Amino acid sequence: MIGEIPIDGVLIPTLLVLGVEAFLVLTVLRAILRRLHFYRVVWHAGLFDTALYVVILWLTALVSTPFILQEWALRWLRG
C-alpha cells in the first residue's frame, strides 16, 4: 500500500481504492448473509459488519501488495 494510483492524472491514495473495493465486496456479502438469515445467530450486526469489513480490507491489501510494490519498483527504476 505504498504510494498513489494515477487515474486520469489524479493521484488517488491506494488505501482509498482498496477501501472502496472492500466496501463493494462487503455489500454483496451482506446481501448473501441476509438471504441466508445468518444475522439471527449474530449478537450485534453492526459490530459483525465492521469486523467483516476490516477483514476484507486486510485481505484486499494483502492480495494487492505484490502488484503495487512491483509497479512502485518499476517507477523507481525508471527514474
Per-residue model confidence as pLDDT tens digits over 36-51: 999 999 999 999 999 9
Q: Is residue 78 part of a domain?
A: no
pLDDT of residue 47: 97
pLDDT of residue 69: 64
pLDDT of residue 8: 87
pTM above 0.75, yes or no: yes
| Count of domains observed in the chain | 1
* Enclosing H/E stretch for 1: none
Question: In the predicted model, is pLDDT for residue 52 greater than 70?
Answer: yes
User: Which residue segment(s) compose the domain that 45 sits in?
Assistant: 10-69
Cβ neighbours of residue 53 closer than 8 Å, sequence gap 6 or more: 22, 23, 26
Confidence of residue 73 (pLDDT cuts 50, 70, 90): low
Q: Is residue 49 part of a domain?
A: yes
- CA–CA gap between residue 72 and residue 1 (Å, rounded): 10
Residue corresponding to grid cell 438469515: 37
Q: Is residue 34 part of a domain?
A: yes
- CA–CA gap between residue 61 and residue 59 (Å, rounded): 5
